[in-house]
Chains A and B, each alone.
Chain A
Amino acid sequence: MRTRTVLTAMSIAMAGMLATQFSHAGTLENVKKRGELRCGVSDGLAGFSAPDAKGRWQGIDTEMCRAVATAVLGNPEKVTFVPLPNSERFTALQSGEVDLLSRNTTWSASRDNSMGLSFPGGVLFYDGQGFMVHKDAGVTSPKELDGATVCTQSGSTSEMNMADFFASHSLHYQAVTFESPAQLLAAFEGGRCDSISIDSSQLAALRSQLKDPDSGVILPEMISKEPLAPMVRRGDEAWGKVVSWTLYAMLNAEEMGITSKNVDALTAAPKSPDMARLLGKDGDFGKQLGLSNDWAHNIVKNVGNYGEIFDRTVGEHSPLKLARGKNALWNAGGFQYAPPVR
């Protein structure tokens, strides 16, 4: 673990020293040339990215990777998943070890502006930080956690939000931090922590992994905004556009009612001018991104629209069973809103 952090730090140094054209290399061309997308994901978080029983990576973050691979290479399987712990994700992207970071990472000002990285646009999952407590503790609000031991992931925004929350309510707490979700889970079950405080979607994932899921209670109160979004290197606009428009294509597809099942029929006979443009029957919106014109068709055909992905990874048809909530489309009471294709 440590050696790898040192190595990635060194490779940034190397990249900084040697490659003068580092940031202008053109990730899109590189990925096309390589014939494969290298995608940084979380190292095992149910619903977001975790290998299933057959060893295939599953989750909303990994589906985002597959969608980008489909948009660029026309094939959702041309992805190498690089599992990254919290502490290594940014260095891995900075150093070029991955082309894209799709790893439940919160969009924040400092991350967008000071690390040579950027969030190209579009939020994959609107989240907020919550608390899980032991059922027998009888706690109903995080404000009742005065003096509690609260465990969280090291190097996360959760660590900071938690400190702010307890300070602003003049409460005492003891923070114990762990690197991996598995360690967090063990510490909670073992009784070291009174509470775990991380993004509520992750809490749901951890709760589903408890030996007795009913022994953990997720408190309804949220203490932060956590827009989880894909991340790329700064200064490569073309690549950023590909990533954000891949997400927009999936959102627009859901809005227009295009699914992986009906996409072929709708491409043959689009029901509206909007649909014709998105599916590549009118205009050259795919070409403008440096992709083939049927990019959106391919994404929906191979990976699905946003709603389908949400459903099978974190929503109704997944073990997490999260409600769409804030992640519903804008015309269904949620925040998800993609710019129009025109």
Chain B
Amino acid sequence: MLRPSTTIPPREHGPLWRDPRVRAFVLQAVMLLVAVVLVILLTNNTLSNLAAQGVTTGFNYLSQRSGFGISQTLVEYSANSTYADAFTVGLLNTLLVAGLSIVTCTLLGLLVGMARLSSNWLLSRCATVYIEIFRNIPMLLQLLFWSALMMSVLPEFKKSYSLWGVAFLNKKGLVLPWVEFSSSTWPLWLALALGLVAMLVMRNINQYRVRRGKDGWPVRWLTLALIVLPPLVTFFCSSIHASLSLPKLTAFSSRGGIHLIPELVVLWLTLTLYAAAFVAEAVRSGLASVPNGQREAATSLCLPGGLTMRKIVLPQAMRVIIPQLASQYLNVIKNSSLGIAIGYPDLFAVYGITTLNQTGQALEIMATTMAVYLALSLLVSLLMNLINARMALKER
């Protein structure tokens, strides 16, 4: 029987320290404070001890002259540049090889993964052999193997393969004709970026319109126009001139054109082949996770195989594939530091080894190198999580 409400004693709040929420909050705050104080104390103690030992600390070295050469530099760099510039060169080289490898290993992995599930016996066996070989041999060994193979296959510099006298291939790499700009090209890149943003906005507006029942725009043509036109218009309206730079061989090297060093190619190739094997497995598990009924339903609608794959199976498989893909991309970024074994000047080689040795600032340099790899990995995880969230099953 219900008692009259007036007889219920007013809810006791009790002392603050008995409230579990307050207690949890205070406890966490105290823990955080202790952690912060500990870190500050340890840092101070480390710095004063290092100073007592005569070890120079701090980041002043970054503005000093580096004094060493690097074989591949995407931005202006010479021995007169600073250690900070060397850091940038190394970081860009890491990003370059990791970016290239991520694109190619995804494409190759997708093909091999689908081939593995193919009803064609030969094709699926070939894919299996590929996956088992490349997945099970340590990447460092593969790297050294391809490097040695490349060096034995490529001709000596004096016996370079020549392609109509405008492109050359030899042990020092591949030299190709290249477009040379008279001044800095940043306006073109800015225009491209703005075009891409405009394209995204356009696509969203279009989706909104379609959902409202209005006619869609010709999205494909608009996309193409928004990507291509802004840089083109900028180019013709600005004072930037472009000219074709043809390489010419000299006694030991070449002048003009663009030079692709063999270390980049070998590292790119190895990262691609190695990671693609894992991507292929991710793709296979993704495809296998789609219930057979989906395919059967598509078949009964008389959809052709290719269309079934593209419109029905793959989109559902992606939900399984993407998280695994993300971890493969992280591996590609981290594994790119193995390039040091073949002389590829990535962040670890240029900054983590050479700069560390020239300056002796081990703590600062190891900390920043690790922070960079961590930041890159977190960034990739974030992007992949965003994509994953978009792809996730939406229940309406």
Q: Give the A-B contact count at a CB cut-off of 8 A.
A: 166
A16-B50, A17-B42, A147-B252 known; A115 and B360 CB under 8 Å?
A: yes
With A and B bound together, what is the CA distance between A8 and B47 in angstroms? 17
Closest to B47 in A: A16
Q: Please name 15 pairs of A and B residues whose Cβ atoms are closer than 8 Å in the assembled complex, sorted by A.
A: A5-B353, A5-B366, A9-B362, A86-B353, A87-B357, A94-B55, A114-B360, A116-B50, A145-B252, A163-B79, A177-B345, A183-B341, A190-B148, A192-B151, A194-B157
> B137 contacts the other chain (Cβ, under 8 Å)?
no
Main SS of chain B's interface residues? helix
B 148-191 contacts with A by CB, 8 A: 148, 151-152, 156-157, 171-172
Least Cβ distance of B37 to chain A in Å?
14
Chain A residues bordering chain B, tally (CB within 8 A): 62
Q: Is B142 an interface residue (CB 8 A)?
A: no
A160 lies within 8 A of B349 (CB) = no
* Chain B residues within 8 Å of A179, by CB: 340-341, 353
Contacts of A19 in B (CB 8 A): 49
A149–B252 contact, CB under 8 A?
A: yes
| A166: B residues at CB distance < 8 A | 69
Binds B, one of A56-64, A168-176, A278-286: A168-176
Instruction: Mark contacts of A90-132 with chain B using CB atoms, 8 A cut-off: 1 yes-contact digit, 0 otherwise.
Output: 1100100000000000000011011111000000000000000
Q: How near does chain B come to A108, taking the closest CB pair, in angstroms?
A: 10
**Are A22 and B49 within 8 A (Cβ)?**
yes
Residue numbers in A under 8 Å from B252 (CB-CB): 145-149, 194
| Residues of chain A with a CB closer than 8 A to B348's CB | 2
Whether the Cβ atoms of B358 and A160 lie closer than 8 Å is yes
Q: How far is the CA of A333 from the CA of B169 in the complex (A)?
A: 51
Does B327 reach chain A (CB closer than 8 Å)?
no
Cα A172 to Cα B251 in complex, Å, equals 12
> Which residue of A is nearest B46, CB measured?
A16
Beyond the given A6-B370, A16-B363, A190-B151, could you list 8 further A-B residue pairs with CB under 8 A, ordered by the A residue number? A90-B362, A149-B172, A149-B252, A155-B353, A160-B79, A179-B341, A234-B54, A235-B52
Residues in A whose Cβ lies below 8 Å from that of B113: none
Q: Report B125-160 residues with CB < 8 Å from chain A CB.
A: 148, 151-152, 156-157
Query: Which residue on B lies nearest to A178, using beta carbons?
Result: B343
Interface string of A152-163 (1 = CB under 8 A from B): 001110011011
Name the residue of chain B whose CB is nearest to the CB of A156. Answer: B357
> Which residues of A55-73 have CB atoms within 8 Å of chain B's CB atoms?
none
Cβ B69 vs Cβ A234 within 8 A: no
For the complex, what is the distance from the CA of A176 to the CA of B359, rounded to whole Å?
20
Identify the closest chain A residue to B159 (Cβ). Answer: A191
Which A residues are CB-close (under 8 A) to B171? 190-192
Q: Residues of B contacting A190 with CB < 8 Å?
A: 148, 151-152, 171
Q: Please measure, in the bound complex, the distance between the C-alpha atom of A142 and the C-alpha atom of B56, giving whole angstroms.
A: 36
Check B49 against A163 for contact (C-beta < 8 Å).
no
Please give the number of chain B residues whose Cβ is less than 8 angstroms from any Cβ of chain A in the complex: 54
Assess whether B118 is interfacial by the CB under 8 Å rule: no
In the complex with contacts A17-B42, A147-B250, A190-B171, A177-B362 CB distance below 8 A = no
* Interface residues, chain B, with chain A CB atoms under 8 Å away: 42, 45-47, 49-50, 52-56, 67-71, 78-80, 148, 151-152, 156-157, 171-172, 250-253, 255, 261-263, 337, 340-343, 345, 348-349, 352-354, 356-360, 362-363, 366, 370
A187 at the interface (CB under 8 A from B): yes
Chain A contacts with B in 177-233, Cβ cutoff 8 A: 177-179, 183, 186-187, 190-192, 194, 233
**Cβ B56 vs Cβ A115 within 8 A:** yes
Complex contact B67–A164 (CB within 8 A): yes
A151 vs chain B, min Cβ distance (A): 8
Give complex CA distance A2, B366 in Å.
Answer: 10
In the complex, A160 Cα to B370 Cα: how many Å?
25
**Contact yes or no, A176 B67, CB < 8 A:** no
Given contacts A2-B337, A155-B353, contact A148 B253 (CB under 8 A): yes
Q: How far is the CB of B80 from chain A (nearest CB, A)?
A: 7
* CA gap between A251 and B54 in the complex, in Å: 31
Q: Which residues of B contact A192 (CB under 8 A)?
A: 151, 171-172, 262
Partner of A5, one of B47, B156, B250, B352: B352
Closest to A1 in B: B340
CA distance A177 to B343 in the complex (A): 6
B52 and A23 form a contact (CB under 8 A): yes
Instruction: Kindly identify which residue among A154, A174, A186 contacts B349, using a CB–CB cutoff of 8 Å.
Output: A154
| A175 with B349: CB separation less than 8 A | no
> Which residues of B are found within 8 Å of A17, using beta-carbon distances?
42, 45-46, 49
Cα-based distance from A151 to B171 in the complex (angstroms): 14
- A177 near B157: Cβ-Cβ < 8 Å: no
Contact of A272 with B by CB under 8 A: no
Mark interface residues in A312-333 (1 if CB within 8 Å of B CB, else 0). Answer: 0000000000000000000000
Complex Cα distance, B363 from A1, in Å, reads 17
Top 10 nearest A-B pairs (CB, nearest first) are A155-B357, A175-B69, A163-B79, A115-B360, A116-B55, A147-B253, A116-B53, A9-B366, A190-B151, A148-B252
| B50, B70, B255, B343: residue with the most chain A Cβ atoms closer than 10 Å | B343
Q: Is the CB of A175 within 8 A of B262?
A: no
Query: Is residue A167 within 8 Å, beta carbon to beta carbon, of the partner chain?
Result: yes
In the complex the two chains form, what is the Cα distance from A22 to B53 in whole Å? Answer: 8
Within 8 A of B (CB), among A11-26: 12-13, 15-17, 19-20, 22-23
- Give the shortest distance, in Å, between B7 (CB) and chain A (any CB): 63
Determine the chain A residues whose CB is within 8 A of the CB of B156 once the complex forms: 191
Contact B68 A175 (CB under 8 A): yes
CA distance A163 to B81 in the complex (A): 12
Known: A17-B42, A147-B250, A174-B71. A155 touches B354 (CB 8 A): yes
